[in-house]
Amino acid sequence: MDAADMGADLEKVLISADEIRDKLAELAARVDEDYAGKDVLLLGVLKGAALVMSDFVRALHVPAQMDWMAISSYGSGTKSSGVVRIVKDLDTDITGRHVLIVEDIIDSGLTLSWLVANLSSRGAASVEILTLLRKPEAAKVHVDVRYTGFEIPNEFVVGYGLDFAERYRGLPFVGTLAPHVYRS
């Protein structure tokens, strides 16, 4: 799927595929330096972080294991509900591990704040966050994010793992969805 396939559903491309690739390589270089010699576990938050995680881990040079969680606070809407539900838990014991949460986007921060507290209570040596996108204007709680790819305006975005009602995840870029799609 590309921009032409979206037709009138795409308002504009915010971040191109090339910009995403370059930013993930830059973030991977920083993580390589910061986690050298450490036992790091990359924790992807499904489903949105799948593309970020796959491209990010290929850019890394430090050995890292991956695991996945699925947590839900959205349903099919466009705003976080603030109520978190674990749909799929970790398969890995994180006691004493350096956990790096890999996210696609941080909106309100409510879900991520809950996740950091949850993982910290499981005995992780450290819990840090890497996100491709962050919407500072949408924040409802403060979340310490160690690695941020792009700060974006508080607009509804799709692509590169981000969806609306499970559509548009496969776009190679991040774009804004035309309001007629989600206001109908």
* pLDDT tens-digit readout, 24-82: 999 999 999 999 999 899 999 999 999 999 999 999 999 999 999 999 875 445 555 56
Confidence of residue 21 (pLDDT cuts 50, 70, 90): very high
Per-residue model confidence (pLDDT) at position 77: 52
Per-residue model confidence (pLDDT) at position 53: 97
Per annotation, catalytic residue among 55, 104, 107, 163: 107
Per-residue model confidence (pLDDT) at position 73: 74
Per-residue model confidence (pLDDT) at position 81: 56
Q: Model-level pTM?
A: 0.91
Asked if omega into 47 is within 30° of 0 (cis), the reply is yes
Per-residue model confidence (pLDDT) at position 102: 98
CA dihedral in degrees (170, 136, 115, 149; nearest 10)? 50
CA distance 48 to 52: 8
Q: What is the DSSP letter of 35?
A: T
Per-residue model confidence (pLDDT) at position 84: 85
Per-residue model confidence (pLDDT) at position 79: 57
Q: What is the DSSP letter of 178?
A: P
Domains in the chain with CATH codes: 16-154 (3.40.50.2020)
Confidence of residue 153 (pLDDT cuts 50, 70, 90): very high
Q: Is 89:116 a contact under the CB 8 Å cutoff?
A: no
pLDDT higher than 60, residue 173: yes
Q: What is the mean pLDDT of residues 123-151?
A: 96
Instruction: Tell me how far the alpha carbon of residue 116 is from its chain's centroid.
Output: 14
Q: Is 107 a catalytic residue?
A: yes
Per-residue model confidence (pLDDT) at position 23: 98
Per-residue model confidence (pLDDT) at position 96: 96
CA distance 93 to 81: 28
